[in-house]
Structure 1
Amino acid sequence: MTDIVIVASAFGAAQVLEQGHHAYVPLAASVGAAGFEVRRELLPAGLDGTVSADVLAALGRLMAAYGLWAVYSTPATLYSHDGTLDAVAIRSALAEAQTLGARIVKFQLGGFAGDASPEALAQLLQGWRARVLVENGQQAVGGSLSQFRGLFAALEEAGVADMLGMTFDVGNWEWAGETPLACAQALAPYVEYIHCKSVAGEGARRFAVAPAGNDARFAAVLAALPGDVPRGIEFPFNAVDPAADAHQHVMWLKAA
């Protein structure tokens, strides 16, 4: 069956910041998840902005003890706003993911432009244990279908397409003004992880919600994407009984 990953923020960003990721690892394991997504922005950081290697390593050992594999999510972008590779941020995030023992490390795209060198990106990504994926973001820059088409076309042309895969965030496309189904049909060959959520509200008041069981649009997007890649739960669980809600959605997404 499809592996289901629980994104730490589904338990509430404020709660994870206060209690730490480690407080939610046993719960994620108990409701049937196969993986747990660690959010870099919700980890304790020092005055210099770095995350302690000891904290990452201990969290990785705890997850392994509970039979969970790790996704490491970083807000770092592959490309800076001017279209140049952000090599320092990339190396730093990859090192953190390796310390955690992550199977997947997930980046944002940033300001990729068509003339960026795919060979230089591929060289930066070589030699690391975690599989590197890039996620569509909520802004037009880093969240447009044309950018992702251009990125993967450039990687294909350079013969280095195997160096990078995609995290397809269903809800984020709507924030960026794109149609999720059209994006799924165009990018399915590159998708290796799916962030599952729907969007409610309008404009700046949009927020993530659980997809309804009868949501035909969400079902069509899932059907257009690979069925054997992990699916991540990123929508918030019911705060009254998060364990029951998490279990229900894990079971649903395994079979969806």
Structure 2
Amino acid sequence: MDKKLVVINTLVFKNYMEKGFKQEEIFEYLNELNLSNIEIRREFIRNFSTELEMFSKLSKKFRINTYYSVPKYLFIDGEVNKKNILKYIEEAKKFNCKSLKLNIGDYRGYAGNLKEDLRGILDTKISINIENDQSVENGTCKNIIKFLEDCKKENIDIGYVYDIGNWSWINEDEMENAKLLKDFTRHIHLKDVKRTSDGLRTVLLNEGNILWKEVLDIFPKDIPVSLEYPCEDFSVIKEEIKKVLEY
């Protein structure tokens, strides 16, 4: 894989975050590895007024592209979560963000006018994308495709982040869903998942049940791919990056 397509989601550094490590510290580390993409997680931000400004400075200093992962819903109780979404977009603008990722939420209960209700949200240069989560209520392929096809009919510019692992939690097939969703996909979240006696567990690549390389083969070769799973330490992170680069 082209190094320019590899994105590091800061969930990779979860173990360090829990010990006080800040997302801003990851920029220099990625620069040392000659990587040029970071995906900031909103839930890891402790001080928005200072950290967003720091992300902006560091992204310019190291020429690192920034993506923004926001674990919030586009639809809540069948309505567009407009007020909050606009707030997340303003946050993303503050650190030169390329793309904002949201969970789809309760689209099944939506009966409004998409074009009208999304007005203002799409008036930005930031790419807006939704992702499949781990809930049967919102994360099914059927629900995702219905929304994306409705957007396409209305010429609404919202794309899709394909999470390779989340399908396991709702008992859907990641390979088949990749075929159905590839034309909508702008970004991929990569992880492996293992079925154990205690349930499903996110694991390192090649240690689970997902044939991740075969899934990636389904997609165009110019889509950014985020590593999105906790790694124990820096040495493990380097090994995981190596696996992806060797793909």
Question: Structure 1 length as normaliser, TM-score?
Answer: 0.86
Partner of 2:177: 183
SS of equivalent to 2:119: helix
Q: Where do 5+ consecutive residues of structure 1 fail to align?
A: 46-50
Partner of 1:164: 158
Partner of 1:226: 220
Deviations 1:77-131 (A, max 9, x none): 1100x21100011101101001121111111110012634321354233221311
Structure 1 outlier segments of 4+, above 6 Å: 213-216
> What does 1:1-256 align with in structure 2 at a 5 Å threshold?
1=2, 2-12=4-14, 15=17, 18-45=20-47, 51-52=48-49, 54-80=50-76, 82-113=77-108, 115-160=111-156, 163-202=157-196, 205-212=199-206, 217-239=211-233, 242=234, 244-256=235-247
Aligned with 2:103: secondary structure?
strand
Which runs of 5 or more residues in structure 2 are unaligned? none
Aligned-residue identity in percent: 19
User: Which structure has more helix as a fraction of its residues?
Assistant: 1
**1:24/1:249 Cα in 2 relative to 1: closer, same or farther (>3 Å)?**
same
Which amino acid in structure 2 is aligned with residue 207 of structure 1?
R
Q: 1:209-256: per-residue Cα shift (whole Å, max 9, x none)?
A: 2221897722221111221110000122232xx1x4333332432342
**What is the one-letter code of the residue matched to 1:92?**
K
Classify 1:112/1:177 alpha carbon distance in 2 versus 1 (closer, same or farther; 3 Å): same
Provide the aligned C-alpha RMSD in A. Answer: 2.3
Determine which structure has the larger strand proportion and give its number. Answer: 2
Alpha-carbon separation, structure 2, partners of 1:75 and 1:216: 23
- Residue pair 2:194, 2:209 contacting (<8 A) in 1 also: no
Say if 1:30 and 1:65 are closer, same or farther in 2 by CA, change over 3 A.
same
Aligned partners of 1:13 and 1:42 also within 8 Å: no
Return closer, same or farther for 1:227/1:14 CA change in 2, 3 Å cut-off.
Answer: same
TM value normalised by structure 2: 0.89
In structure 2, relative to structure 1, the CA distance for the partners of 1:79 and 1:250 (3 Å cut) is same
Partner SS, residue 229 of structure 2: coil
Change (3 A) 1:184 1:203: farther
